[in-house]
Amino acid sequence: MTGNVLPTKKETTKARIIKALTESSGFITVAAARAGVTYTTMKRYMIEYPTVRIAAQECKERLLDLAESQLLKNIKEGDNTAIIFYLKTQGKHRGYVERIEATGKDGGPIQTRTVNVDANIVTEALRILLELGAIEVTED
């Protein structure tokens, strides 16, 4: 028989994970439960398979789009809370900012302390966080 190649267990799991991510709007713990895998397995698949990582990112972007469209709807309906939120977060260049005055204990100066760290430890921690998908490098 030719042409009848069965998918591997990993391919089947990958498809289940992507489906679960889509159904759970990209929430990893919820998707893991739906896919019948552990959180650790979800994170590993996101590291090993770009298609899984991209699917998770796309789900989060769709949810963000939904939230933004609801915010816009609320603004158009005159919802003052939505209007204030939008101006505080997006209107800073027009002066819509809250002034925050920070002081130390009892209104005194803020105490600062310099801590020296081993650059190798920081580099290794960043590498691990990147591998786990907890952080990502951007070009900003």
Residue 41 domain flag? yes
Q: Which of 51, 16, 44 is nearest to 31 (CA)?
A: 16
pLDDT above 70 for 24:
yes
- The answer to the question of residue 123 being in a domain is no
Across the range 66-91, mean pLDDT stands at 96
Domain count, the chain: 1
Answer yes or no: is 89 within a domain: yes
pLDDT tens readout for residues 87-121? 999 998 999 988 888 898 888 999 899 999 999 99
Q: Supply 4's token pair.
A: 């009848």
In a domain, 111, yes or no: no
Instruction: Write down the pTM of the prediction.
Output: 0.60
In-domain check, residue 110: no
Residue 7 has pLDDT above 80, yes or no: no
Question: What letter would DSSP give residue 77?
Answer: T
Structural domain of residue 80, as residue ranges? 9-98
Q: Is residue 128 part of a domain?
A: no
